[in-house]
Structure 1
Amino acid sequence: MQNQNMSDIIEAYIKKILTSEEQVEIRRNEMAVRFNCVPSQINYVINTRFTEQHGYLVESKRGGGGYIRIMKVKFLDEAEFIDEMVRMVGDHICERDAYVIVQNLYNKKVISKREGNLILSVMDKQWLQTFGTDEDVVRAQLLTKLLKSLRYEV
Structure 2
Amino acid sequence: MSDLIEEYLKKVLQEEGKIEIQRNEIAEIFNCVPSQINYVINTRFTMQHGYDVESKRGGGGYIRIVKVQVNSNIDLLERMNQIIGNHISEKEGQVIIGTLYDNELMTNREAQIMLAAIEQQNYSGNSLIDNQLRANILLSMIELLILKNN
**How does the TM-score come out when normalised to structure 2?**
0.49
Could you state the TM-score of these two structures normalised by the residue count of structure 1?
Answer: 0.48
